[in-house]
Structure 1
Amino acid sequence: MANIRCLISLAAQNNWKLFQLDINNAFLHGTLHEEVYMKIPEGVSAPAGHVCRLKKSLYGLKQAPRQWFARLVEELQFQGFSQSKNDYSLFLKKDADDIVLVAVYVDDIIITRSNEQSISDLKTHLHKIFSIKDLGELNYFLGIEVCKCDNGYVLTQNKFTKELLQDCEFDLSKPASAPFPSVLKLYSDQGDLYDNPALYRCYVGKLNFLTNTRPDLAFVVQSLSQFMHSPRLPHVHSLHHTLRYVASTVGQGILLQATDQLTLRAFCDSDWAACPFTRKSVTGYVLLLGNSPISWKSKKQSTTSKSSAEAEYRAMSHASGEVDWLVRLLTEMGLFDLKPVKLYCDSQSAIHIAKNPVFHERTKHIEVDCHFTRDKVLEGLIELCYLPTGQQLADVFTKQLPVSQQQDLLYKLGMFFSPLPSLRGVLEHIA
């Protein structure tokens, strides 16, 4: 999804149009390289004991998706496209000052370019080879609504959210102003076991899909996902609270907009020893292209940190890895002069550790991979900057904040808040 958000953000910046294609019967176009046999279909006469040998792929074969993608790659390369080394689902074709970008997900394709005639030529060729369905300008992709506005594109999941709420078995009549109850600690061994764990897993999985356009749900999903194997009643109560929050914020999404100066910025943070059971910390980071959020994550760290500075240093390492990948991806897309990327952290100690190449008692136990940040600073890829905690955008990915502070940070993150009727009106409309 970071690749898709980068593509849409780039189109918004350059005022390019986005087009969408769908391949008819995509898996039937794959060519098999193995010998695959199947039973004689009903209605086909054949000698007893005989089977069919497939010459081309069919739906249901394990090889079908792989062979279809290989066939599509072959055809795009024949048209002069090169496959990205940073994301194999992205294809690029550069001509002088022009560039064509093609993003592929199975049989759904997004195309953008400044020269629309080249897009028409590509559509004509693909239709001749595969038979395509031209869906026009991009408006719905992978369950995400893409709406063109004056200064960019708005990404929401209204349809999916309404379907989620319509099938919800919880009472959602009482609105919630925050995604998580304040001052809440969830334990894996406290409370009675929930009698329907499959339902809990279903809702958490759907909320996880919503995080593609809802950064405000990332920390919640990270927290609730830790108890998928054996949910208890306190976990279900927290899930219920989150669903009430989703019901009262149906129209939220992200705005990918054009800016005067297109720069890449990163924010990282951690909540030290946040897990009350394992005492592991939570890492959170977000990357903004201009003012548009293109990548974010909330994740519990795999090891226990001995200090808050170490936890922040580990969070910095995760963010640095994402910065390294995105800079290479965006450079392929035609964006240059992104270095050095400013990485904002609210821990002076962690910044000093990253800048100081001297090992001492407080850092010798830290794994070598965490010093990845130090290497990137020396390479000139990253510039470490201090930011006060109150202005740290990544704070929303590590803990539940007061409502006013969270709303302020979400606005700065580039979230879109559409005007909606009252919660009762939304629920009546869904019903």
Structure 2
Amino acid sequence: MTSIRTLIVVATAKHWSLYQMDVKNAFFNDDLSETVYMQPPPSFPAPPGHACCLCHAIYGIKQAPRAWFERFRQSLLSISFIESLADYALFYQSSASGTVILLLYVDDMIITRSDSSTITSLKQHLQSQFEMKDLGSLRYFLGIEVASSSCGYILSQQKYITDILECATLSDPSIATTPLFTPMEINLKLRHDDGHPLSQPTRYRELVGVLVYLSATCPDIAYAVHILSQFVSSPTFIHYAALIWVLGYLRGIITKSLSPPDSSLSLRAYSDVGWADDVDTRRFTTDFCIFWDHLSSLGVVSVKPLSLVLRDNKSVIAIFINPVFYERTKYIKVDCHVVRQEHVVGNITLSYVPSKE
């Protein structure tokens, strides 16, 4: 999901078009590199005690996804595409005519480029290798609705939210019909031993799971979902009430969408540490938020300073900048040196930001 959002952000910043293609019967396209036997089908006349040796992949065998991806991968590598080391399902090709990027998810793919001629040749190559369906401009991908506007692309999961609320309301009529304005109660602190355990925790786990996926286009619920996911092993009625609160919040933002900014493709990071903030162990809790829309494989040229790290602790910034303070940090070892090295060469800029901001 991170690669999908990053690809859309880069396409928005560079004003590239996004296209979608689908492979028909992907798992039937592949030759098996391993010897696989199966019992003969009931209608197949085979002598007793005999087995079938598969020459091609079929649905239902574990080797089918791996065989399909390897054939697709070799098909792209044969036309000078490069496989990204950050995401093996991401392929790109850079040439004098421009850059082409392809992101694969099972048998669905997103394609973007800097010039239309390269896209045409890529589609022709794929159609010569596989039975493809050209879906045109990107509209719907993995439950995410994508709309194009003059300002870029707009992402939403309105149908996904509607399905969640309908399913949750049918199973639990106590879910509030009145929209709420925050994803979690203000200053709410949840403990593992709050309240009585749920007799059937499966429903809680299912709802938290779908909310994790929803946070891809609703980052405002990411923190609440992160907190609720800590109690999936033994949720209580208190935890379930907080989960219902999130669903009430979703009812109020069901028509809202996420629009990637037309940014300069620079990296920004925010971090904070809560003093003894864990109510169960009284340990520190670390929060961070990274706006990462820089990938060299997406045709982005880095501009130094590459990244901006914002912290609300001036002492931490002083430790990173001044090596004399290293003796005062008992437990900081490798991480501090790595950050300092990046700061010295100009890849990271440290800046102070007040906590209230």
TM-score with structure 1 setting the length: 0.78
Is the contact between residue 147 and residue 153 of structure 2 (CA under 8 Å) also seen in structure 1? yes
Specify the SS of the correspondent of 2:34.
coil
The total of aligned residue pairs comes to 352
CA shift digits 1:49-70 (9 cap, x unpaired): 1010111111111121111111
1: CA distance, partners of 2:35 / 2:332? 51
Say yes or no: does 1:209 pair with 2:213. yes
1:213–1:253 Cα contact (<8 Å) kept: yes
| Distance (whole Å) between structure 1 residues aligned to residue 45 and residue 157 of structure 2 | 49
Q: 1: distance between equivalents of 2:41 and 2:325?
A: 69
Correspondence for 2:301 among 331, 336, 340: 336
Cα displacement (A) at 1:370: 5.1
Equivalent residue for 1:192, pick from 190, 193, 196? 196
Instruction: Give the letter aligned to residue 209 of structure 1.
Output: Y
Equivalent residue, structure 2, for 1:419: none
Residues 370, 285 of structure 1: alpha-carbon distance in 2 compared, 3 angstrom cutoff: same
Residues 264 and 338, structure 1, Cα contact 8 Å, conserved in 2: no
Gaps of 5+ in 2: none
CA contact (8 A) 1:264 1:342 kept: yes
CA shift, 1:371, in A, is: 4.2
Letter of the structure 2 residue corresponding to residue 198 of structure 1: T
2: distance between equivalents of 1:345 and 1:97?
42
- The question of 1:279 aligning with 2:282 is answered yes
Show CA shifts across 1:285-326 (max 9, x none).
3333xxxxxx5xxxxxxxxxxxxxxxxxxxxxxxxxxxxxx6
**d(CA) in 2 for partners of 1:106, 1:220:** 30
Could you say if the C-alpha distance between residues 237 and 52 of structure 1 is closer, same or farther in structure 2, counting changes exceeding 3 Å? same
Q: How does 1:103-122 map to 2 (within 5 A)?
A: 103-122=103-122
User: Residue 317 of structure 2 aligns with which residue?
Assistant: 351
Map 1:55-74; keep pairs closer than 5 Å: 55-74=55-74
Q: Tell me, yes or no, if the aligned pair for 2:97 and 2:115 is still in contact at 8 Å.
A: no
Q: Is the 8 A contact 2:10 2:265 kept in 1?
A: no
Amino acid corresponding to residue 336 of structure 1 in structure 2: V
Q: Which runs of 5+ in 1 are unaligned?
A: 289-294, 296-325, 392-431
1:421 aligned residue:
none
Q: Secondary structure at the match of 1:103?
A: strand
In structure 2, how many angstroms separate the alpha carbons of the residues matched to 1:252 and 1:270? Answer: 31
Q: Give CA deviations for 1:45-97 in whole Å, capped at 9, x if unaligned.
A: 01111010111111111121111111111000112211112221111111115
State the 4+ residue runs in structure 1 displaced beyond 6 angstroms: none
1:98 aligns with 2:102: no
CA distances 1:147-198 after superposition (whole Å, capped 9, x unpaired) = 1111111111111111001101332312211100112111111211112200
Q: Is the 8 A contact 1:23 1:133 kept in 2?
A: yes
Distance 1:369 1:14, change over 3 A: closer
The offset of 1:23, in angstroms, is 0.7
Q: For each residue in 1:349-385, what CA deviation from the matched residue of structure 2 results, as whole angstroms up to 9, or x when unmatched?
A: 1111222223556411235345432232123211101
> 1:286, 1:365 → 2: CA distance?
23
For the Cα contact (< 8 Å) 2:126–2:132, is it kept in 1?
yes
Distance 2:217 2:88 in 1: 22
Q: Counterparts of 2:194 and 2:118 in 1: how far apart (Å)? A: 61
**Percent identical residues:** 41
* Counterparts of residues 7-26 of structure 1 (less than 5 Å): 7-26=7-26
Which residue matches 2:349? 383
Cα displacement (A) at 1:13: 1.8
The equivalent of 2:330 in structure 1 is: 364
Judge conservation of contact 2:38–2:53 (CA < 8 Å) in 1: yes
Aligned mates of 1:156, 1:283 — CA distance in 2: 29
Say whether the 8 Å CA contact 2:30–2:56 is kept in structure 1. Answer: yes
SS at the partner of 1:389?
coil
For residues 281 and 19 of structure 1, what CA distance do their matches in structure 2 show? 45
Q: How does 1:86-235 map to 2 (within 5 A)?
A: 86-168=86-168, 169-170=171-172, 171-235=175-239
Give the corresponding residue for 1:75: 75
Aligned partner of 1:250 in structure 2 is 254
TM-score, normalised via structure 2 length: 0.93
Q: Which residue of 2 aligns with 1:264?
A: 267
Q: Look up the SS of the partner of 1:254 in the other structure.
A: coil
| Residues 89 and 186 (structure 1), Cα distance of their counterparts in 2 relative to 1, 3 Å cut | same
**What is the CA–CA distance in structure 1 between the aligned matches of 2:167 and 2:300, rounded to whole Å?**
43
